[in-house]
């Protein structure tokens, strides 16, 4: 019997994740307006409601599971991956799918094969592509601003304040713009001179990426995550981008741009590190992270979608059992040869 336990719980771990996300959310609000707060709240409520309902249907005790915070983490990651001005039903549908199907139909906490937030996101992306690409412009680039109330009204009713058009508040994302402009024959250099771009990535979004990075480092320091997945993923993304960039800098954007744009940082520290759907061995985590980094680069550069984090994560989720199987560490007292059974 072990009579003592470290004062740690699943709820505390999830709580730390939520706290670490706070920094990036603050940056999000500063650079893109308060609309994200509406969708975060909406997703949270939807997730808790779905979780409670399904737990009830499955005959589980509700309170301890609801308090574990895993539903909230899923909700936040999904909301942070979606355009903040997406209509309310889109958020609710995505969250419901994430919780009910991706999480509970696979057995609930700890048993799901796919990252629930990313499963929800991909479902929305393929089902409602037009809604999922309506991204707000950064505050300094937008021609109009939405207050928290305006944003809430738009999300719930689809009505904008008088005199404001959708075009005035939305814009292509840096990755999107880069892709379309490159197709039109422009060089990377020409494209990234546009006001949409900042020093490293998209204007505003590079700061948010930095905030995710800091939040991730906090999680590392707190030992909520290990370094393997984020380092491997970012390194692979960087290396792939560097290779192509050196090969043809006019057609392939610089590696740091990839790190500072889109879902790279959020994905590396908060999404790909989901313990439930990731590998458990140190070596497995490195392989898993590196493969995601590589896939993100390939999807961004050659694929049909502007960002690839969600697809890369889901694809690699499927490989996890195999990765774990082949990366079992050598047990103390056993030969270095694999799987001796004496």
Contact positions vs other proteins (CB under 8 A): 1-6, 8-10, 12-13, 61, 64-65, 68, 70, 108-111, 223, 226, 275-276, 278, 280-281, 324, 328-334, 339, 341-342
Nearer to other proteins among residue 275 and residue 303 (C-beta)? 275
Nearer to other proteins among residue 172 and residue 323 (C-beta)? 323
Cβ–Cβ under 8 Å, residues 264 and 296: yes
Please compute Rg for the chain using Cα positions.
Answer: 21
The CA distance from 322 to 320, in Å, is: 5
Closest separation in Å from C-beta 6 to other proteins: 5
DSSP states along 2-48: -----S--HHHHHHHHHHHHHHHHHHHHHHH-THHHHHHHHHHHHHH
Nearer to other proteins among residue 9 and residue 170 (C-beta)? 9
- Residue 1 CB coordination number (10 Å): 3
Closest separation in Å from C-beta 79 to other proteins: 21
Cα 175–Cα 181–Cα 183 angle in degrees, nearest 5: 105
Closest separation in Å from C-beta 215 to other proteins: 18
Closest separation in Å from C-beta 113 to other proteins: 11
Q: DSSP code of 197?
A: B
Q: How far is CA 107 from CA 62, 90, 112, 203, in A?
A: 15, 24, 6, 41
Closest separation in Å from C-beta 145 to other proteins: 41
Nearer to other proteins among residue 238 and residue 270 (C-beta)? 270
Nearer to other proteins among residue 9 and residue 133 (C-beta)? 9
């Amino acid at each position: 019997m072990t009579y003592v336990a470290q004062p740690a719980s699943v709820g505390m771990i999830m709580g730390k994740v939520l706290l670490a996300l706070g920094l990036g959310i603050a940056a999000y609000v500063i650079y893109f307006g308060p609309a994200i707060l509406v969708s975060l709240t909406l997703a949270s409520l939807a997730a808790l409601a779905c979780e409670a309902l399904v737990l009830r249907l499955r005959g589980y005790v509700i309170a301890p599971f609801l308090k574990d915070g895993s539903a909230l983490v899923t909700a936040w990651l999904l909301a942070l991956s979606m355009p903040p001005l997406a209509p309310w039903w889109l958020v609710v549908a995505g969250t419901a799918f994430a919780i009910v199907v991706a999480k509970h139909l696979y057995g609930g906490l700890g048993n799901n094969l796919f990252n629930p937030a990313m499963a929800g996101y991909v479902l929305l992306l393929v089902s409602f592509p037009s809604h999922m690409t309506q991204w707000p412009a950064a505050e300094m680039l937008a021609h109009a601003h939405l207050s928290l109330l305006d944003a809430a009204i738009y999300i719930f009713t689809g009505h904008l304040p008088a005199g404001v058009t959708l075009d005035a508040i939305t814009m292509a994302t840096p990755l999107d713009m880069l892709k379309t402009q490159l197709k039109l024959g422009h060089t990377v250099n020409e494209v990234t001179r546009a006001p949409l771009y900042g020093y490293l990535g998209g204007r505003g979004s590079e700061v948010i990426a930095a905030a995710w990075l800091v939040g991730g480092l906090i999680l590392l320091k707190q030992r909520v995550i290990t370094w393997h997945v984020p380092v491997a993923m970012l390194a692979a993304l960087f290396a792939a981008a560097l290779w192509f960039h050196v090969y043809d800098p006019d057609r392939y954007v610089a590696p740091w741009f990839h790190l500072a744009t889109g879902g790279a940082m959020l994905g590396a520290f908060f999404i790909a590190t989901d313990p439930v759907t990731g590998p458990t061995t140190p070596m497995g985590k490195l392989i898993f992270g590196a493969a995601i980094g590589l896939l993100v680069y390939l999807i961004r550069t050659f694929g049909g979608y502007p960002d690839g984090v969600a697809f890369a994560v889901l694809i690699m989720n499927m490989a996890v059992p195999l990765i774990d199987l082949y990366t079992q560490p050598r047990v103390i007292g056993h030969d270095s040869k694999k799987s001796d059974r004496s």
